[in-house]
Amino acid sequence: MNHKIAPSLLAANFSNLAKDMEMINQSEADWLHIDIMDGVFVPNISFGFPVLEHVVKLTTKPLDVHLMIVNPEKFIPQVKALGAYTMNVHYEACIHLHRVIQQIREAGMRPAVTINPATSVALLSDIINEVYMVLVMSVNPGFGGQKFIEHTVVKVKELRALINSTGSKALIEVDGGVNLETGARLLEAGADALVAGNAVFAASDPVDMVHQLKAL
């Protein structure tokens, strides 16, 4: 039960956001996962900072902000202004990843790097000791409700081996198609944090679902 559970805001009911945020506040969730999409890096647009400024007022959970956008470094000040706990940027979106990681840390946030399903874990060897966390996408980013990519379990094992061999303290987070069944296998493979969208917000009892995920 030491692993983290991060319900994904993307799956919340935006017509009654206050109710959903209160539900998350009452649950055992550790973080609130926020996906920001630009319609360029991924084929969808989610929500921007004006909306998130209201979300911040509704939640008591630390923010795990995931930028699925090009040039994410431009928005470090805005993410910091939200009071984010972690700032996640994509390996594929950052030409100068080491510099961006440094800038996130200098802004007072915990830097995290995300890899898409087709990106090899081996590419993180030069940055693994610089990040607080690695987010492994278990679906192709851009939309919620996608089917879990089975190879992710192998990637989590590879990433755990890389972390152990380098002495890194990085956490492993997984996002996409996470439910009780896939979540259990991911944790067994070495994951430390699970992002869950539909599994939580579409459940008949979302608070209990968070409890079950936390108890895996």
88-103 tens-digit pLDDT: 999 999 999 999 999 9
Please give the angle made by the CA atoms of 127, 102 and 170, to the nearest 5 degrees.
45
Sorting pLDDT into bands at 50, 70 and 90, what band is 146?
confident
Q: What percent of the chain has pLDDT over 70?
A: 98
8-46 tens-digit pLDDT: 999 999 999 999 999 999 999 999 999 999 988 998 888
Choose the catalytic residue: 20, 38, 64, 175: 175
To the query of whether residue 175 is one of the catalytic residues in this protein, the response is yes
With a CB cutoff of 8 Å and minimum separation 6, the contacts of 76 are 87, 103, 104, 107, 109
Rounded to 10 deg, the angle between the 17-26 and 206-214 helix axes is: 40
Choose the catalytic residue: 20, 35, 64, 192: 35
Confirm if 174 and 135 have CB atoms less than 8 A apart. yes
To the query of whether residue 38 is one of the catalytic residues in this protein, the response is no
Integer-rounded Cα Rg, in Å, for the chain is: 16
Domain extent listing, the chain:
4-214
* Superfamily classification of domain 4-214: Aldolase class I (3.20.20.70)
* Burial call 42-80: b when 16+ CB within 10 Å, e when fewer: beeebbeeeebeebbeebebbbbbbbbbeebbebbeebb
